[in-house]
Chain A
Amino acid sequence: MSSRRDFMGMALGGFAALGGIAALYAAKKTWDPLPSVKAGGFTTIDLSVAKENELVIEKWRGKPIFILKKSASMPKDNREIVIGGNRYLVAIGLCTHLGCIPAYLPNDLMFKCACHGGEFDSNGKQTFGPPPRPLDIPPFKINGTSLVLGETGPEYEKMLANKLTQSV
C-alpha cells in the first residue's frame, strides 16, 4: 500500500517540479533584455569632426562613448584607432571599476573618476585607484571616416585577439 502512495506522491511531485522548472524558465526569459532593446545596439559615428585633445561623447547602447582625437605630441598606443593618419582613442566612457563616467582633464591629459578616485591616461589605461583594466573598447568597424559601433571589424578582432580589450 505504501508503495502505491509513494508512487502517487512521486508522480505528483515530479509533475509539480516539472511545472515549477518550466515556470522558472519562463520567468528567467521574461527578465531578459527585449529583442527591441538588443536590436537598437548599432550606432554610426563620424570621426572627422573631432578636434585634437577635445573629448567628444557619443551614445551607444545607452552608454557614453569617449572619442578623443590625439595631438601629435600625445604618446602612441596599440589601442588607438588610426583613420587617415589621425589617431583616436575610442572607448566606452564608463569606469571599469563600477561604471561611473570619468571626466577628461585636457590639461593633465587624463581621465579622473569622481566615484572612487580611479584615473586613466589619454590612452584609456588605468594609472591609479581601483579600476581593474583600461577603458573597454566597443566593438567597431571602420567605414570610411566613420565607425559603426556594435559591428565587429578586423581591427577590433585583432585587438580582441591580442587581449588589448575585452568583449562587452
Chain B
Amino acid sequence: MAHFDEKAKPFSNQWMNDRLAVDTVKKVLSTEYWIPKNINFLWAMGMILAATFGLLIVSGIFLVMYYQPDTKTAFDSVNYTIMTEVGYGWLWRHIHGVAASVVFLIIYIHMFTGIYYGSYKKGREMIWLTGMLLFVLFSAEAFSGYMLPWGQMSYWAGMVITNLFGGFTKDFLGGIGNIQALVEWIRGDYVPGQAFLSRFFMLHVFLLPLVIMGVIVLHFAALRIPHVNNQDGEEVDFEKSARLYKEGNKKESEVIPFNPVFLSKDIFVMGIYFVLFFYLVFYHFEFAMDPVNFDPADGLKTPAHIYPEWYFLWSYEILRPFPFNVGLVAFGFAQVAFFLLPFLDRSPNVAPANRRGLFGIWFWLMLIDMIVLTIMGKLPPEGVWNVIGFVAALTFIILFILLPFITKTEKKA
C-alpha cells in the first residue's frame, strides 16, 4: 500500500499528491511537455481548433435546450423561438454557425501546415491518421448539424448526400454495387423525414461529439512520443534540451515547456483569432447562413442550385464533372487520398516543401487546385465552368498518383 502522510492537511498539496499525484500529472501534461523553439504561428492552429471546438460545445448546449427535432416544428424552433424569443438565442446560433464554418478553415490551415513541413512522416504517421479521422468526423458532425434547421438546403443536401450511399448504378457490373436499400436504411424512410431528422439530431448532439472527443485525446496522445515537428524538420534531442532547460540553460536549449511558455504564445495567436472570430459573429454572421435555408424544407421543390457549404465544395467538385459511376469512384478516392499521404510520400526527408524540389511544386499545385475546385463547386454546372471543374478534378487525382514517383527521386538531404 502506498504511503500516506498522516499529517497532511486535507486538500493540501501533499495530501493531493498522495492521492492523485497532481504534481506528476502537471509535469507530464504541461510543465515538462517539451515543444521546440523553432516554430511559428502556424503551430498555434491546434489549440485554436481545441478552443473553437469548446465554443461549439458551449453554444450547442444552449441551442439544444430550445431546438425541437420534429419536421413540423424544427424550422420555427430555430428561426422563430431561438432567434427572436430566447434571450441571446441569436448569439448562440451565430457563434455556432460561424464556428462551424471557421473551424474548417483552421482545419485546412492545420492540415496544409502539416503537409508543407512534412509533419506526417517518420514516426508522426499516427498524428496524421488520427487528424484525418477527425476531419472525417468533423465533416459528419457538420453535415448532421446542417440537417437540423430543416430548411430547403438541409433537406436537399440530406437527399443528395444520402443518395451517394446507394453506390453504383444497377447496370454496372450486374448491379452488385447497387445498395439502394442502404439509402432507405440510413434515412429510415423513402425520403428524408421524421426518422431521418431525429436520428441525425442524435448523431449531431451525442454520438459524433462523443467520438470526436475520444479521437482528440488519441490525436494528442499520438503527438507525445514523436513530439511536435519544427520549421526545419530537424530532429531535436528532446532529452538533452529538456535537461539544459531544467538546468537553467534556457538559451542553449532547443525546447520550451508547453505550459506556460508555449501556451502563452498560443494564447496570443488565439487572441488575434478571436478578435476576427467575434467580428464575424457580430457583424458578418450571414456568410455562414445560406439564404436558401431560410425557406422551410419542401420535398416537392428543389432549389435552383444545390451546393454544399464552402468546406465541402472541393470534394463535391471531384464528384460532379464525371459520369455517375466514375464520379463516385473519384469522390471515394478524394475522401481517402489524404489519409494515404504518409505512405505515398516516399522521400526520407522531413523538411519544408520549398526545400524539397519537385515536392514544393506539388504542394503549391495541390493547394491551388483545391482552391480552384472550391470555386468551381460553387458555380452552376454550365459551359466553361464544367470544363475547368473537370480539369481541376483530374489534376487532383493525377497529383496523388504522381506523388510516390516525384518523392522517390528526391535525394536524401
Q: Which residues of A contact B (CB under 8 A)?
A: 28, 31-34, 37, 41, 57, 59, 61-64, 96-103, 113-117, 129-133, 166, 168
The answer to whether A166 touches B305, judged by C-beta atoms less than 8 angstroms apart, is no
The answer to whether A133 touches B169, judged by C-beta atoms less than 8 angstroms apart, is yes
- Interface residue ranges of B132-174 to A (CB < 8 Å): 156, 159-160, 163-164, 169-171
Residues in chain A near residue B190, CB distance under 8 A: 33, 37, 41, 61-63
Considering the complex, give the chain A residue whose CB is closest to the CB of B385: A117
Considering the complex, give the chain A residue whose CB is closest to the CB of B326: A130
User: What would be 25 A-B contacts, judged by CB atoms less than 8 Å apart?
Assistant: A31-B185, A31-B188, A31-B199, A33-B185, A33-B195, A34-B195, A37-B193, A59-B299, A59-B300, A61-B190, A62-B189, A63-B190, A63-B299, A97-B324, A98-B159, A98-B160, A98-B164, A99-B159, A100-B159, A100-B160, A115-B305, A115-B381, A116-B320, A130-B323, A132-B324
Residues in chain B near residue A32, CB distance under 8 A: 185, 188
CB distance from B316 to the nearest CB of A (A): 10
Residues in chain A near residue B169, CB distance under 8 A: 96, 132-133
User: Would you call B382 an interface residue if the criterion is a C-beta within 8 Å of the partner chain's C-beta atoms?
Assistant: yes
The answer to whether B171 touches A33, judged by C-beta atoms less than 8 angstroms apart, is no
Residues in chain A near residue B188, CB distance under 8 A: 31-34, 37
The answer to whether A64 touches B300, judged by C-beta atoms less than 8 angstroms apart, is yes
**Extra contacts besides A33-B189, A98-B163 (10): CB < 8 Å:** A33-B188, A59-B300, A62-B189, A63-B191, A63-B299, A98-B164, A100-B156, A101-B301, A114-B302, A117-B381
User: Would you call B322 an interface residue if the criterion is a C-beta within 8 Å of the partner chain's C-beta atoms?
Assistant: yes
CB distance from A125 to the nearest CB of B (A): 14
CA of A69 to CA of B380, assembled, Å: 31
Considering the complex, give the chain A residue whose CB is closest to the CB of B160: A98
CB distance from B152 to the nearest CB of A (A): 11
CB distance from A51 to the nearest CB of B (A): 19
Considering the complex, give the chain A residue whose CB is closest to the CB of B327: A130
Given known pairs A33-B188, A131-B324, the reply for A114 and B193 (CB within 8 Å) is: no
Residues in chain A near residue B323, CB distance under 8 A: 130, 132
CA of A108 to CA of B186, assembled, Å: 37
Contact digits for B376-413, partner A, Cβ 8 Å, 1 yes 0 no: 00001110001000000000000000000000000000
CA of A57 to CA of B186, assembled, Å: 26
Residues in chain B near residue A28, CB distance under 8 A: 185
Considering the complex, give the chain A residue whose CB is closest to the CB of B303: A114
Given known pairs A62-B191, A132-B169, the reply for A100 and B325 (CB within 8 Å) is: no
Number of residues of chain B lying within 8 A (CB) of chain A: 38
Q: Which residues of B contact A (CB under 8 A)?
A: 156, 159-160, 163-164, 169-171, 180, 184-191, 193, 195, 199, 299-306, 320, 322-325, 327, 380-382, 386
Considering the complex, give the chain B residue whose CB is closest to the CB of A115: B306
Considering the complex, give the chain A residue whose CB is closest to the CB of B178: A166
- What 5 A-B pairs are tightest by C-beta distance, nearest first? A62-B191, A101-B302, A117-B381, A61-B190, A132-B324
Residues in chain A near residue B199, CB distance under 8 A: 31
CA of A34 to CA of B382, assembled, Å: 41
Residues in chain B near residue A168, CB distance under 8 A: 180
The answer to whether B171 touches A62, judged by C-beta atoms less than 8 angstroms apart, is no
Contact of B163 among A61, A64, A99 (CB under 8 A): A99
Residues in chain A near residue B193, CB distance under 8 A: 37, 62
CA of A117 to CA of B324, assembled, Å: 13
Residues in chain A near residue B189, CB distance under 8 A: 33, 37, 62
Residues in chain B near residue A166, CB distance under 8 A: 170
The answer to whether B195 touches A37, judged by C-beta atoms less than 8 angstroms apart, is yes
CB distance from A97 to the nearest CB of B (A): 6
Residues in chain A near residue B324, CB distance under 8 A: 97, 130-132
Residues in chain B near residue A115, CB distance under 8 A: 160, 302, 305-306, 381
Residues in chain B near residue A37, CB distance under 8 A: 188-190, 193, 195
CB distance from A103 to the nearest CB of B (A): 8
